[in-house]
Amino acid sequence: MKKILITGGTGSFGNAVLTEYLNNKKFSKIYILSRDEAKQHYMSQQFKTDKIEYILGDVRDKSRIDETISGVNVVFHAAALKQVPSNELNPQEAIKTNINGTENVINACVKNKIKKLILLSTDKAVYPINTMGLTKAIAERLMLNKFKNYKTSISVVRY
């Protein structure tokens, strides 16, 4: 049975796909990594099952990501700062999460020989004109360049 980790799992993506994965018999455990304990609490009230494990943590924390990814088969990397105005006012924070956090996830996946990594990106990465688009475009390039020589199957999904 496979185990899934969703970084930023309390966001819109995690909520949207969780029901499908809960009903899929191929997956024995779904780990939801998020730094938002309130959203984790609300999700745990909505999805009452032992199949989900909530992990409090941040993709910026390399050691937390390393320990969280161990034993997982599939990683959906959805954690990001996505609000354009916030990113414009705080570009250093966008870099820490969207670029450095992505690099932490990538390196942990390589170290732990994760079978599949999916990066959730944005259409704003195509022709980036703002901080959010720029940081997500760099995150995409980091991922695509890192995995040229590894056996991990990678995907970048823009929406």
CA separation, residue 101 to residues 33, 48, 106 (Å): 13, 29, 9
Q: pLDDT by residue (tens digit) across 69-110?
A: 999 999 999 999 999 999 999 999 999 999 999 999 999 998
Please report, to the nearest 10 degrees, the dihedral formed by the alpha carbons of residues 35, 118, 109, 102 taken in order: -50
- The pTM (predicted TM-score) of the whole model is 0.94
Residue 5 has pLDDT above 90, yes or no: yes
For the annotated catalytic residues, the residue numbers are 124
